[in-house]
Amino acid sequence: MSDLKISFSVTQTPEGYNLNSFHSIKKQDSIDHSAFQYIGLLYHGIDATNEYDSRFTPAVVESFSASILNLGFPECTPMHMLSTSNWKERMYIVWGFISEKSQKNARALDYEEFHNYWPSLEFCEPGWDNEVKKWISSQPCCTHLCG
């Protein structure tokens, strides 16, 4: 995760300012192979934007939400994903929302070759699914994951 660099450029338009972000990594990009990894990058975008210039945070949150909905998740999903307070909870909530196929895709990537946008590879470890289920069941907002 530490090899990720996000840079920004701001352009002025008649409607106001646009923030453009670019990311660079040393390994192959995993976002085209894994929804889980793509969502990890989206979280990095929010965090980096907030550090860069928090005036752009509302627009990036809106973009995050649109990206999540474009992946086919229920309408309530972005709210739940954005309500987490740390990376561990982010991993739990996203893992709880993605399909089993998406989970398998995330686990199948060779992380020596592909970039991991999450702080650890815990999601590849035995017992991870049960840990996530236990956490989700302890969250009043998430027990049904919008269902």
Tens-digit pLDDT string for the chain (147 aa): 568 999 999 999 898 888 889 999 999 999 999 999 999 999 999 999 999 998 898 999 999 999 999 999 999 899 999 999 899 999 999 999 999 999 999 999 999 999 999 999 999 999 999 999 999 988 876 545 665
Determine the pLDDT at residue 146.
63
Sketch the domain layout of the chain as residue ranges: 29-137
Determine the pLDDT at residue 16.
85
Q: pTM higher than 0.85, yes or no?
A: yes
Determine the pLDDT at residue 63.
94
Q: DSSP label at 118? A: S
25-64: b (≥16 Cβ within 10 Å) or e = beeeebbeebbbbbbbbbbbbeebbeebeeebbeebbebb
Backbone phi, psi, residue 15, to 5°: -85, -10
Determine the pLDDT at residue 26.
95
Determine the pLDDT at residue 143.
46
Question: The tokens of 119 are what?
Answer: 């702080």
